[in-house]
Amino acid sequence: MRTFSKQRRLIAAAAALAMLATACGDDGGDDGATDGGGEGESETSAPAEQPEFDEGTKMAEIQEAGVLRVGTKADQPLFGVEGPSGWEGFDVEIAKLIAEGIFGEGGGENIEFSEAVSAAREDVLVQDQVDMVVATYTINDERKELVGFAGPYYEAGQDIMVEEGNPEGIEGVDDLNGQPVCSVEGSTSIDNLREMAPDAEVVALDTYSACAEELSQGNVTAVTTDNVILIGLIEERGEFELVDNPFTEEPYGIGVPKEADEFRDWVNDRLEEIYESGEWEQAWLDTAGQVTGSAPEPPAVDRY
């Protein structure tokens, strides 16, 4: 069981600093679309000028429009939050790095973010309300019937969050049977819960922050979804803990319109570029890594 204590955070911060020091001492051997930058700056793979794309491609269309429309989460600390200083989190940083591949350096400014709750993610793509969804969005075959996925760019696992001290002694998914448990409509988390703990009393809400509120009020015994989402809520609220016994694999993809194969290929190329340049790692260290510590190896993209 973990509560991500202050001590853990300090260890995480020290590890992040050590990694940063290593990254700074290594020029990566890239030809570098970078001007070298100042001390302590990370390398950037984004060109200073706007890249060129063939006419008629979705990349060219987005560049022409001057805006990349991105659906993300607005209430998931560490991954996607709309806060007083704007949109923040690992998903937000990934979207900005994708935007730099279209608009050049500083391209994150050209993003129009909007909230896409779990159940809305396919709809906003199918109805052309956004160009992409970067929203703790698990790649799976059922969703591939409606949308396309670049990535994965991260692998999470479903876990369980309980009240601090774990009063009901929840050790794993089986213990959720017979308990009131909150998860979110339109998520893989709620499907897995129904399948793996069929006797749980499922409370289905729109967002994980609403589930956290139910747990805080004592209306449910547990909240279940991806570990990194729960870790963000634990960190923010300081009244819960993670069971830390993940029971699924959740590869996060970037949702794109189903028929946009060329765009999907390009987003995959761009992901490989930011893996290579160290920007993916830096995005992690700046966001989720502040709590979890050093970045994992990025997963290989799946060009299906």
Give the interface with ligand GLU as residue ranges (CB under 6 A). 118, 135-138, 184, 187-189, 225-226, 229, 250
208/275 with CB nearer ligand GLU: 208
Phi, psi (deg, nearest 5) at residue 181: -135, 135
91/273 with CB nearer ligand GLU: 91
187/287 with CB nearer ligand GLU: 187
Question: Least distance in Å: CB of 30 to ligand GLU?
Answer: 32
The token duo for 194 is 């129904």
136/277 with CB nearer ligand GLU: 136
Question: Least distance in Å: CB of 189 to ligand GLU?
Answer: 5
Question: Least distance in Å: CB of 226 to ligand GLU?
Answer: 5
Question: Within a 13 Å sphere around the CA of 11, how many CA atoms are in the beta-carbon half?
Answer: 6
34/292 with CB nearer ligand GLU: 292
Question: Least distance in Å: CB of 166 to ligand GLU?
Answer: 22
Question: Least distance in Å: CB of 298 to ligand GLU?
Answer: 17
Q: Which residue is nearest to ligand GLU (CB)?
A: 187
